Amino acid sequence: MKLNEKELLYIGNKVNGEAHKEGALWIKETEKKLKKKEVYTRRYFRLVGNLLFYLSGDNKSDSVYGLIILIKTEVEPECQRSETQHAFKITFQYDSSVYNLAAESPEEMVSWIMAIRSVNYDFMLTALSELRTKIFQLAGRDPIPAGNPYYKLPYRSMDELPLTTGTTNQYEPILNLSLACSSLVSLCSNSQPSAFVITNIKTPPQFYWLRHSQTEVLPDTCDPHYFTTVILTAKYTLLSTEIKFEVFDVYDRKHQKMLPIGTAECTVKDILGAPNYQLRKEIKQGGDIRGYINILGWKEALEPPMQTPENSSPKLPLSPLQVGFDGWRLENVERSKSKPLKLPFNKLLMTTFQFPIAKSSKEDVPKVMKVSEVMGEGLYSWSIPTQLMKLFIKEDNIWLQYYHSLGELVEEWEMIRQEVVLDHFTSITHYREVLVEMEKLQGEGITFKKSTDKSQTPYEFIPTNLHIQYMRVELEKQSSPTITYEVISVGAPTAYNLKFKTGGLMKWHNTAPFSMANHYLDNAASDNKTLRGKIILEKIEEVTENIKLCFEAFTMSSSSSDLGNINEKFYNLQTEVYRLQSHCNINLMNEALEGLQKAMSPKARGPLFGQHCTTVSLLFDHIESALSTLGGHVTGLDQIDFDGTTSPARSKVNWKQILKDPSHTFFKYLEDVVSILKKAVYYIFLKDAFDLAYERVPLGIQGYRHRRDICFSHAVTTLATSFATKLRQCAVDPSYSLQLAQLGFLVYWESLLSTHGDESGMLEDFFVAVQDLNNVKLKITCGDGQHGPIITGARYKVTVEMPLEDTLFRLLPIELQKGQEISVCAVMFSQGINEQQSIADRIGDNSLQDAINIENFRTLKQYLSQLSSHFALAGEESKKKVALALTLAEELQNHVHNTRKRKNIEIFATMQALSRLLNAARVTSCKSAKDRTAMAVTLEQVQILIKDFNMAPSAFQQALDSMRSQGTRIHNSLKNVGHPQYAFNVIQIPALPRHYRPPEGTYRKLPT
């Protein structure tokens, strides 16, 4: 190969050039000393095309020292014992040369490996082949003309994909592999191997291996049987696809140090051609046999059957509903010709396992179960917060209109109004700016809020790390139904970006003199003046509209000759006026009128609002006087002929003309009085806001209303996601639909927050957000199932309209089809489990946690009381389930009131069982829904497998470790912080309850 040295030096020394990647690495070199010794030297590397330059030092301004030409190369991590961590090596296909390199961190190592692979000629050739295949399939013709030198490049034809029949999704799982090793050789004389298997894939025309998956680590055994299975998707289903299994012995799990035991290779064709898809291969290293690997394959059913709902009497629904999934899209036998229903998640992660079932003397009991985990991002993470923010902006604009309608005020109150108006205006401006930032983020392709972004203002209304996780359980017997469990995981609904120096929302609840917590509850007897004012304002507007309609009807009747009709219309008008007076003639309005008179400028008061007209009764004296005058004219109409042609004693005057002036006078007084009454209500709003500010309860940016808006947005988005998930899974179950219609939607929220430090403030926000959900209403509308929910209503009292595909919509009870609103019963139970909770248990205060649990148990008890009444006349099976629910509730009550027990996680286990029995939606949260949440979700899944599916108890810990090390939860950590590890340190691990501890090697100190 001829190279131009000057040109290469120019490219390598170009500091601000277009390098694919550059940075410092360690390279293994031989020292230039008498004793030749290999050492790692830190140098600066620059990757330009397929040329990897390394410089004389570790500074980017140093000169070029050497060059590696990346042709026919392979790059892979160095798994043998090494003098340094994060090592990898570059080897050549036709040369024995090896370059040993090391990065500063595992993330940098992976980044460099991927960068070097991407510039490899073979990699680009494979990419060209993939693109050529896709274009050929879409356009029906070859995009490369016959004369092109790349025309003879092989590409996949549809004939080479025999296993993909029935699916168009290249990521559809169609072949699973279960792995086990036997007779492994121990590389350390003092112990048996702690082995795991890495699976690599090479699909023609690809020339290099790609790491596909790996199993969990099984300690101290020569015959490991792995629970984590290998999923082969439609993308890797060529019969010629090669699979390489690399087996490693982990001798230092904490620092992830390992030694290679050996490798085994086969093809997809080998597995499918083996009897019962069972293949046994030798594990070799340098020609020596170091054990065996046993491969068991099975094809995925593309269209599993789904149970058809039975028409039966109301019963307590079975949870979970037994359904089947085709690529995780719910399919109903009645709608096979319709569009697939869009579930509320995307960007799926999927892992599979195979767990043993406890031994039984019965022959028909299966020996293993197949378990799949599927996790996806919630689809509504952006749409619902956007709708809520627009609703908040609209409502703040209405408040501004109220304050402006007060007219001219005296100087003192004008200053107060300006301060309150500025507060609302600042909120509107801030919310609009955040909406613009959110649109930019969406335009950049960001689909969810990472845990590391939770303190960023543009993300403040987006729920943190919102994901939906399904666990699908399929028994070995083909006739057994597939059973699915779902859980929503999301960061605690809290205003993390506003910090917690003054605590959370509950603390403001307690300090605010006018309990703003209940602003939007329909309770006219509340001490909250703003709330009562809003109710009065609604009544004034409602009755005033009725008075105008009655007045219009009365005016029209005066054009007729029917005196009885005129008297009837006048009576209706008189009744509505008295209704208006009854709604307003209360102490609150009298106090408001008195205050308004002092606040308004004298020249702005008008003739009706004089020095002595400071009560509702005095104001209505004007209306009553005008109404009495109008009534007198109506009474005198019987003395006047309508057409004036009969008795000479009667005037010849039209009745409408007679009533015109007194009618006009009455209506003018009515408008003036209503205007004053509304201003009195606006004064209540203004004074209430001022009193809160005076008591140092800020409302706007970084204040109470802002914090509550953020928490409410998180909670409603999560609620809508859980409702959509549950509805699409259970809509075919008539008993669940009846449960929704008659009892409402039950959602159980599990909190893992502690009661010490900032998390105490988060827990306060959390509690108020969940309480606010009890004021939310749900409504199911008929749609195409492809669009998201619509938000209507007012602040903290919204209605979520959820569209449902037509065929499923027609299965709902008639009252739900007619638009009946579904109430929400949201309950949360909290138990801290980390080291912060240990501090709170010993020297802190747990009263917040205890109060939250006791209060939510009261809410749950009310729901159970309604449930008991509802199923009182149901069948024996339903009565048994109700009795079981009440027994679990009693057990839960004992746990909740046992406040002396530290880290009482039995609360969770009992409530989880109860929520499954009641078919409640499930949400689990910690600060970021990443680490503690992962431990809680996987523990619940394994407990379900043991209790409901008779998984072998001896497999409990291995199943836990498998799900935590190879399941979807550790991939969730990678999505959030860029590391496939949990953010626990060595101090936190001992503080966690035993079953909440991650496997060794899967955690380290990381940002949360």
Task: Return the half-sphere exposure (C-beta side, CA atoms, 13 A cut-off) of residue 212.
Answer: 24
User: For the chain, how long is the longest CA-to-CA vector?
Assistant: 144
**pLDDT score of 724:** 92
Query: Which of the residue ranges 323-337, 572-586, 601-615, 790-804 has the most confident prediction, judged by mean pLDDT?
Result: 790-804
pLDDT per position as a tens digit, 975-1003: 999 888 999 988 899 999 999 999 998 99
State the sign of the Cα–Cα–Cα–Cα dihedral 521, 522, 527, 532. Answer: positive
**pLDDT score of 522:** 38
Q: Does 515 or 279 have the greater pLDDT score?
A: 279
- How is residue 514 written in tokens? 């006018």
CA 375/CA 969 separation, integer angstroms: 8
Amino acid at residue number 202: K
- Backbone phi and psi for residue 232, each to the nearest 5 degrees, phi listed first: -105, 120
Closest to 25 in 3D by CA, of 96, 73, 89 = 89
**pLDDT score of 399:** 92
CB 537 within 8 A of CB 678: yes
pLDDT band, residue 509 (cuts 50/70/90): low
Name which of 3-7, 487-491, 527-531, 652-656 the model is least confident about: 652-656
- Percent helix, strand, coil in the chain, to 5, is 45, 20, 35
**pLDDT score of 514:** 37
Helix (H) or strand (E) holding 16: none
Q: Does 454 or 153 have the greater pLDDT score?
A: 454
CA 999/CA 1008 separation, integer angstroms: 19
**pLDDT score of 398:** 93
Closest to 494 in 3D by CA, of 696, 706, 701 = 706
pLDDT band, residue 331 (cuts 50/70/90): very low
CB 208 within 8 A of CB 222: no
Query: Which of the residue ranges 202-211, 270-279, 564-573, 820-829 has the most confident prediction, judged by mean pLDDT?
Result: 820-829
Any bridge partners for residue 64, and if so which? 55
Mean pLDDT throughout 923-947? 95
Say yes or no to pLDDT of 510 above 70: no
pLDDT per position as a tens digit, 411-449: 999 999 998 999 899 999 999 999 999 999 988 888 889
525 three-state secondary structure: coil
Long-range residue pairs from 355-362, CB within 8 A, at least 24 positions apart, any chain: 355/227, 355/945, 355/951, 355/952, 355/955, 355/959, 356/951, 356/952, 356/955, 357/475, 357/476, 357/949, 357/950, 357/951, 357/952, 358/950, 358/951, 358/952, 358/953, 359/952, 360/950
Say yes or no to pLDDT of 753 above 50: yes
- How is residue 753 written in tokens? 């927050």
Say yes or no to pLDDT of 637 above 90: no
CA 1008/CA 992 separation, integer angstroms: 17
Query: How far does Cα 932 stand from its chain's mean position?
Result: 16
Mean pLDDT throughout 328-353? 56
CB 477 within 8 A of CB 371: no
pLDDT band, residue 728 (cuts 50/70/90): confident
Q: For 522, left (φ over 0), alpha (ψ -120 to 50), or beta?
A: beta
Closest to 727 in 3D by CA, of 672, 782, 793 = 782
- How is residue 124 written in tokens? 């680009």
Strands 822-830 and 745-751: parallel
CA 929/CA 177 separation, integer angstroms: 30
Residues 6+ positions from 608 with CB-CB distance below 8 Å: 619, 622, 669, 672, 673, 676
93 three-state secondary structure: coil
Mean pLDDT throughout 202-209? 73
Mean pLDDT throughout 610-631? 80
**pLDDT score of 878:** 78
**pLDDT score of 131:** 77
Q: Does 199 or 239 have the greater pLDDT score?
A: 199
- How is residue 305 written in tokens? 């059957």
CA 293/CA 283 separation, integer angstroms: 7
Mean pLDDT throughout 948-957? 91
**pLDDT score of 143:** 83
Q: What dihedral angle (degrees, nearest 10) is formed by the CA atoms of 958, 921, 794, 427?
A: 0
Q: Does 981 or 1 have the greater pLDDT score?
A: 981
Mean pLDDT throughout 382-395? 95
Q: Does 516 or 739 have the greater pLDDT score?
A: 739
Mean pLDDT throughout 662-675? 89
**pLDDT score of 36:** 67
**pLDDT score of 447:** 87
pTM: 0.80
Q: For 696, left (φ over 0), alpha (ψ -120 to 50), or beta?
A: left
pLDDT per position as a tens digit, 798-812: 999 999 888 888 888
Query: Which of the residue ranges 412-421, 600-609, 620-629, 931-940 has the most confident prediction, judged by mean pLDDT?
Result: 931-940
Mean pLDDT throughout 629-646? 67
**pLDDT score of 644:** 44
Q: Could you say which DSSP state residue 256 is in?
A: T
pLDDT per position as a tens digit, 163-194: 443 444 555 677 889 999 999 998 876 788 99
Any bridge partners for residue 830, and if so which? 751
CA 408/CA 29 separation, integer angstroms: 84
3-state secondary structure 807-823: HHHCCCCHHHHCCCCEE
Say yes or no to pLDDT of 205 above 70: no
CA 712/CA 364 separation, integer angstroms: 51
Say yes or no to pLDDT of 523 above 70: no
Query: How far does Cα 1 stand from its chain's mean position?
Result: 56
802 three-state secondary structure: strand
- Backbone phi and psi for residue 226, each to the nearest 5 degrees, phi listed first: -90, 140
Task: Name the percent of the chain lying above pLDDT 90.
Answer: 45
How far from 809 is each of 331, 665, 722, 791, CA to CA, in Å?
14, 54, 18, 19
Say yes or no to pLDDT of 327 above 50: no
Task: Return the half-sphere exposure (C-beta side, CA atoms, 13 A cut-off) of residue 171.
Answer: 9
Residue 519: count other Cβ atoms within 10 Å of its Cβ.
20
Helix (H) or strand (E) holding 162: none
CA 360/CA 154 separation, integer angstroms: 53
Catalogue the E-assigned strands of 315-451: 325-326, 329-330, 345-356, 368-378
CA 319/CA 920 separation, integer angstroms: 9
**pLDDT score of 544:** 92
Question: Cis omega before residue 173 (within 30°)?
Answer: no
Catalogue the E-assigned strands of 324-466: 325-326, 329-330, 345-356, 368-378
pLDDT per position as a tens digit, 210-266: 888 899 999 999 999 999 999 887 765 678 888 999 999 988 887 778 889 999 999
**pLDDT score of 995:** 95
Mean pLDDT throughout 263-290? 91
Name which of 458-462, 653-657, 842-846 the model is least confident about: 653-657
Give the mean pLDDT of the chain. 83
Catalogue the E-assigned strands of 64-209: 64-69, 73-77, 87-92, 95-102, 173-182, 195-202
pLDDT per position as a tens digit, 90-107: 988 777 788 999 998 877
How far from 628 is each of 528, 566, 598, 625, 662, CA to CA, in Å?
37, 15, 31, 5, 9
- Backbone phi and psi for residue 852, each to the nearest 5 degrees, phi listed first: -65, -45
585 three-state secondary structure: coil
**pLDDT score of 315:** 32
Mean pLDDT throughout 677-697? 84
**pLDDT score of 515:** 41
Say yes or no to pLDDT of 904 above 80: yes
Q: Does 339 or 601 have the greater pLDDT score?
A: 601
CA 682/CA 406 separation, integer angstroms: 7
Helix (H) or strand (E) holding 460: none
CA 909/CA 996 separation, integer angstroms: 13
CB 142 within 8 A of CB 136: yes
Mean pLDDT throughout 336-347? 56
